[in-house]
Structure 1
Amino acid sequence: MKVGEACNRDVVVAEPHTEILDAAKLMRAHHVGDLVIVEMRVGLPRPIGMLTDRDLVVEVMAQDVPPSEITVADVMTSDIVTVPEDLEIWETGERMRQHGVRRMPVVAADGSLVGLITLDDLLELFTESLDTMTRLVRNEMRKETQRRKP
């Protein structure tokens, strides 16, 4: 399965000039812990950063910085790792491991934002796959036992 098929396409985004307080309100309103920071280029949103609820705590609240004085650009992680939408799911997990990240924007060939994939998403997909394989093995064992009754 390709990551573009599995990713969450309902991504909450913000722009770098967004005030940090507005970004926090956006997270709260949408019940998310992260925002993909985008820059519009040729009418398409291109990911340029990530902002997490942890960033808000560590970089704003814990530093006693007045939220009205800073923007998303001041706090966001700008060296993000993206993943092309045609990459296989297992390769996506490997890329997360290599880069030590828990979430990655999924991009089209032109670099525009397609969606977001998280470690939790991958774990759910892998768990479902393992469950399916386990059921197949059990079913085959049951059939074998029935065929070979003494």
Structure 2
Amino acid sequence: MSIGKYCNRDVVIAAPDVSILTAARLMRDYHVGDLVLAERIDPERFRPVGIVTDRDIVLEIVANDEVDLERIRVGDIQMRDLVSAWESEDVFEVIDRMRHFNVRRLPIVDGEGALVGIVSADDLLGVLANYLEALSLLVGYQNLCEDSECDQGL
């Protein structure tokens, strides 16, 4: 199962030099909790260079009583080096990486490093829950068949 199949391809991006105020408004307008900071590769493709979340803004700006939200750039509060995944990587490898680096969101890139999507821990929980539900239905169906001696060829 490659992560590219499950990532969200509608990514809200911003340049690292946009203001915190602009970033917060983008998050509000697009109803997202993060922005992928990216540099343009060509007219239609971007390379991710960072990520900023609504939580980053609260902890780094609001909690520190910063008042000039136009002066501070989102790139200034980027918490760590960017962790990303190739779209061809296995879902479970990506989950391991997220756990190792203690991140809830990962930009997904193609073979050339261009942004193709983003995946969150919540997205992956949904995917895994769907597979677990399907598996539980299979077990339940097989138990019913054993009880009623239904055709095992189905």
TM-score (norm 2): 0.92
Identity %: 42
Q: Give me the whole-angstrom Cα distance separating, in 2, the residues matched to 1:6 and 1:45.
A: 20
Matches within 5 A, 1:19-30: 19-30=19-30
Name the residue aligned to 1:145: 147
**Deviation at residue 78 of structure 1 after TM alignment:** 4.5
Name the residue aligned to 2:77: 75
Q: Could you tell me which amino acid in structure 1 is paired with residue 128 of structure 2?
A: F
Question: Aligned to 1:110, what secondary structure does the other structure show?
Answer: coil
Q: Give me the whole-angstrom Cα distance separating, in 1, the residues matched to 2:74 and 2:147.
A: 62
Name the residue aligned to 1:107: 109
Name the residue aligned to 1:46: 47
Q: Could you tell me which amino acid in structure 2 is paired with residue 47 of structure 1?
A: P
- 1:100-130 CA-to-partner distances (Å, cap 9, x unmatched) read 1111000001000010000001100101000
Name the residue aligned to 2:94: 92
**Deviation at residue 89 of structure 1 after TM alignment:** 1.3
Q: Could you tell me which amino acid in structure 2 is paired with residue 34 of structure 1?
A: D
TM-score (norm 1): 0.94
Unaligned runs of 5+ in 1: none
Name the residue aligned to 1:117: 119
Question: Aligned to 1:67, what secondary structure does the other structure show?
Answer: coil
Name the residue aligned to 2:9: 9
- 1:47-75 CA-to-partner distances (Å, cap 9, x unmatched) read 00011001111111111222121111111
Q: Give me the whole-angstrom Cα distance separating, in 1, the residues matched to 2:19 and 2:76.
A: 10
Deviates more, 1:70-79 or 1:3-12: 70-79
**Deviation at residue 76 of structure 1 after TM alignment:** 2.0
Q: Give me the whole-angstrom Cα distance separating, in 2, the residues matched to 1:141 and 1:114.
A: 42
Contact 1:48 1:78 in 2 (8 A): no
Q: Give me the whole-angstrom Cα distance separating, in 1, the residues matched to 2:143 and 2:74.
A: 56
Answer 1 or 2: which has greater helix percent: 1
